[in-house]
Amino acid sequence: MCGIVGYVGPKEAWPILISGLKRLEYRGYDSAGVAIMGDKGLQVSKCKGRVADLEAHVGKKGLKGTVGIGHTRWATHGEPNDVNAHPHTSANGELALIHNGIIENYATLKEELIKRGYVFRSETDTEVLVHLIDDIQRTEGTDLAESVRLALLNVVGAYAIVVVDAKSPDMLVAARKSSPLVIGIGNDGDHFLASDATPIVEHTRNVVYMEDGEIAIIEKEKGLRVRNIKNQELRPSVQALEIQLETLEKGGYDHFMLKEINEQPRSIRDSMRGRLNIAGSEVVLGGIKDYEQKFVNAKRILVVGCGTSWHAGMVGEYLFEEFARIPVEVEYASEFRYRDPVINEDDIVIAISQSGETADTLAAIELAKSRGATIIGICNVVGSSIARITHAGSYTHAGPEIGVASTKAFTAQVTLLTLMALMIGHRKGTIDGARFQQLLLELDAIPAKVERVLKTEAQIKYIAEIYKDARNALYLGRGYCFPVALEGALKLKEISYIHAEGYPAAEMKHGPIALIDEEMPVFVIATQGASYEKVVSNIQEVKARKGKVIAIVTEGDTVVKAIADHTIEIPASPDALVPLLAVVPLQLISYHIAVMRGCNVDQPRNLAKSVTVE
Ligand code: M6R
């Protein structure tokens, strides 16, 4: 939600800020703006629309100056328009500020500032911050860094902010609480700021991940200083970035989503690399090694996540119950955090998040941690907030996922959950040695099988053409494939804006069957496994009501082929591993339908990749 960038150094800031904003556009894309210190003071330009609109608005020459900030917005307070776009400025135009997060007590602060004579131009919560800092500078006579610190003592909410002040033209001040901020330390005495490392990696690999409650002061001459909210100086810890630049490009594909779907044979393989030891008949997850015994003793596992990560967690529930015989509860992080959940010290909480920044998941972790549970993270983004606040965890190693619709992150999360469940089951002795070894071999074969599934794309495109104008769609699956049905429905609705629902196949007769007529496409995962015959009966029930059935079946299936309108074959696999294969055609069908409908696949309306507000 919102991307922010900053630059201080010897180079022109404009091209650095614009290319940084383009990298962060997946975080929000309804308006964009920059503020750059020029010879004659602060120059601010902002407008509704995308970063490209901002470039067109400013013109080819850009803005001159070597210190600046930039923002790409996902609106929370106030509609997307030129006025609500960031940066927000003080009345005299000397201060400019960008913000990612939500100021919860903005109404109270605004009321007080209005009484003190401040005039508000926007409908945003952010504008209070710039007037508050301005007010403190005037009344206390403090410098920019101290004024920011004093202002933040009055603020309730989440923020990553960067402020520039014409009175201190060579300086940026940044602060974070619950919203991410990374500082890049360049080789030419320059410093970069960004919501994540993707805009920084092309300039430097040395970064500092800001922690909650920290304030960074970056000056051309003095470089970087970090303080906490109590004004104590801190020593920043510099880390090396491992992202490869080419992973941030489309690499010849029309969209990031299509690239990421096609990357899955590689990303699943990378999730298993060094962890799946077939010769030694073991699974090694170094990141959670110290917590293995806790897992073995656990009476219960709680899984928290949102969206696609929550769906992966549901697959995890089946995996842990089958292989490790540990009861699992899968919770929407947003619900869990506001209940009064019963959490025990011997509970394990698995927190799943691609971005590692999802506000609800972070809050759920804090709650469970405060009650003594052990928190294990499954994150994709290295160094992200969730990766840092969990007790231990494993990275998915899927590589940067830029498309807003999550694809390769899902299969990587499920791969890790499979490894974890198998490892714990093996340690507990709840899975016998021969079956364990067989499953390791089957897991190892998954990347090659995904490659085979990807070859069905032409057929999937043909099916997409037939159903692209549908107004509704139903997704059905049972057992391990129920979460896959949910994920298929989420993919379709978020990028094509077709209403879609996922259901456990047998639940259909308890309500959704009323929706079925000749207009309704029903996607059914009907692979040969434990509930195959039952699902075949469900397909018959749909056909009896003239619904159109698109079934994902096991290669060589003849039974479903005879009754469904279309079938897409996937290679045979044990039930527990079918989600890794069955989800791929559903991702592709959503992608092609969305493209055919002319939708913006990588940046669907109203959405953002990283949901850092609750
Ligand atoms: O970064 P996270 O995995 O925590 O994000 C959770 C959801 O916001 C995310 O999965 C969302 O539902 C995606 N748009 C799904 O494609």
Question: Is the CB of 168 within 6 Å of ligand 1?
Answer: no
Which is it for strands 348-353 and 374-379: parallel, antiparallel or unpaired? parallel
Cβ count near 590 (within 10 Å): 31
CA 28 to centroid of ligand 1, rounded, Å = 14
**Residue 80, pLDDT score:** 86
> Does the 3-246 domain belong in CATH 2.60.120.1060?
no
Mean pLDDT for the stretch of residues 196-222? 95
CA 609 to centroid of ligand 1, rounded, Å = 7
Q: Which two tokens stand for residue 41?
A: 């003071």
Mean pLDDT of the chain: 95
Mean pLDDT for the stretch of residues 214-238? 95
**Residue 242, pLDDT score:** 83
Amino acid occupying residue 240: A
| Residue percentage of the chain with pLDDT more than 90 | 89
**Residue 509, pLDDT score:** 87
330 vs 508, more confident: 330
Report DSSP state, residue 178.
B
Q: What's the rounded Cα separation, in Å, for the pair 613 and 360? A: 8
- Domain range 255-444, CATH class: alpha beta
The dotted CATH code for 453-604 is 3.40.50.10490
Domain spans in the chain, listed from the N-terminal domain onward: 3-246, 255-444, 453-604
* 558, 462 contact by CB (below 8 A): no
Tell me if residue 47 is catalytic: no
* Alpha carbon separation from 314 to 301, 306, 329 (Å, rounded): 12, 11, 9
Mean pLDDT for the stretch of residues 166-173? 97
Question: Is the CB of 603 within 6 Å of ligand 1?
Answer: no
Per-residue pLDDT reduced to its tens digit, 386-399: 999 999 999 999 99
Cβ count near 488 (within 10 Å): 28
Q: Which atom of ligand 1 is nearest to the CA of 409?
A: 3
Question: Is the CB of 312 within 6 Å of ligand 1?
Answer: no
Length of the chain as a residue count: 614
* 394, 251 contact by CB (below 8 A): no
Per-residue pLDDT reduced to its tens digit, 36-81: 999 999 999 999 999 999 999 999 899 999 999 999 998 888 888 9
Tell me if residue 259 is catalytic: no
Question: Is the CB of 317 within 6 Å of ligand 1?
Answer: no
Of the residues 22, 46, 491, 609, only one is catalytic, namely 609
Most confident of 209-213, 370-374, 566-570: 566-570
Question: Is the CB of 611 within 6 Å of ligand 1?
Answer: yes
Domains 3-246 and 453-604 share a fold: no
Mean pLDDT for the stretch of residues 560-578? 97
Specify the long-range contacts of residues 229-234, CB closer than 8 Å, at least 24 apart: 229/149, 229/152, 229/153, 231/146, 231/149
Mean pLDDT for the stretch of residues 13-34? 94
Question: Is the CB of 124 within 6 Å of ligand 1?
Answer: no
Please report which helix (H) or strand (E) contains residue 353, including its range: strand 348-353
How many Cα atoms sit within 13 Å of 87 on the Cβ side? Answer: 31
Q: What's the rounded Cα separation, in Å, for the pair 51 and 99? A: 17
CA 311 to centroid of ligand 1, rounded, Å = 10
* Alpha carbon separation from 251 to 48, 246, 254, 256, 260 (Å, rounded): 29, 7, 9, 9, 10
CA 140 to centroid of ligand 1, rounded, Å = 43
pLDDT tops 90 at residue 243: no
Mean pLDDT for the stretch of residues 419-446? 97
**Residue 493, pLDDT score:** 97
Cis peptide leading into residue 87 (ω within 30°): yes
**Residue 614, pLDDT score:** 74
Q: What's the rounded Cα separation, in Å, for the pair 149 and 155? A: 10
CA end-to-end span of the chain, whole Å? 10
- pLDDT bin (cut points 50, 70, 90) of residue 92 is very high
